């Protein structure tokens, strides 16, 4: 199965890497509840150190927290993961028998804090959900942006006029924004300069069963 896309009878876009960037509908009440829950957890726990530079990184147990807003978040994650995993079948309903493990944690960044460039080894998909973005200080071009790097090593050396080969994809956070991409893509978060908190939830997806029913 391939994600190649025909743009003309004799031209095909290949080596495709799917990235989902969607604003979840009617998310504000759940997002506000997640913000309160995460900030309360931050006060109660020192967290851990992973890719976070000075910011707070919760323990990777978020999806087992008992608050009802976590259940809603899990439904959003499940919908997104099933859509992404269904892409090779052109999203034929019920064509994929899918099972996976999901591990999640919260990130809280304040002024000057960021997440270093990294990948999620051993996982298949990475999911990011934005809770709050704070108030940005003007004058910083990449203020708090999520950056996904082009995964093709040769792309930065083979740029062509009119094409964007080798250029990173940057995503401007906003509350309720959900991003999904392959976990092996190098990514990081630029330093946030401003007031308030930039809060996100990150999720590792490990697919344990992927079967395609050819008859559906």
CA distances from 93 to 73, 84, 183 (A): 22, 13, 25
CA distances from 211 to 80, 92, 184, 207 (A): 18, 13, 22, 11
Q: Where are the domains of the chain?
A: 17-212
CA distances from 186 to 42, 59, 100, 201, 209 (A): 27, 22, 22, 17, 25
Which residues of the chain register pLDDT less than 50?
A: none
Closest CA to 178 of 52, 25, 63: 25
Residue pLDDT, tens place only, 147-160 = 999 998 888 887 78
Half-sphere exposure of 29 (CA within 13 A, CB side): 4
Residue pLDDT, tens place only, 30-61 = 999 999 999 999 999 998 988 888 899 999 99
Q: Please give the pLDDT value at position 110.
A: 97
Q: Please give the pLDDT value at position 60.
A: 96
Q: Could you give the percent of the chain with pLDDT greater than 70?
A: 98
Q: Please give the pLDDT value at position 22.
A: 97
Class of domain 17-212: mainly beta
């Amino acid at each position: 199965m391939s994600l190649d896309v025909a743009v003309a009878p004799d031209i095909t876009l290949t080596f495709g890497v799917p990235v989902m960037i969607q604003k979840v509908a009617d998310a504000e009440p759940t997002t506000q509840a997640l913000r309160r829950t995460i900030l309360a957890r931050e006060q109660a726990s020192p967290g851990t150190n992973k890719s976070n530079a000075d910011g707070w990184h919760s323990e990777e147990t978020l999806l087992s927290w008992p608050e009802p807003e976590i259940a809603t978040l899990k439904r959003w994650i499940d919908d997104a993961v099933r859509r992404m995993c269904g892409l090779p079948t052109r999203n034929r309903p019920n064509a994929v028998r899918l099972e996976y493990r999901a591990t999640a944690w919260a990130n809280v960044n304040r002024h000057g804090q960021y997440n270093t460039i990294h990948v999620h080894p051993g996982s298949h998909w990475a999911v990011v959900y934005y809770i709050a973005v704070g108030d940005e200080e003007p004058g910083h071009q990449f203020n708090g942006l999520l950056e996904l790097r082009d995964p093709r090593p040769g792309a930065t050396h083979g740029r062509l006029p009119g094409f964007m080969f080798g250029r990173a994809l940057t995503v401007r956070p906003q509350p309720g924004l959900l991003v999904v991409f392959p976990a092996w893509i190098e990514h990081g978060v630029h330093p946030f300069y401003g007031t308030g908190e930039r809060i996100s939830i990150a999720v590792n997806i490990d697919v344990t069963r992927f079967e395609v029913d050819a008859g559906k």
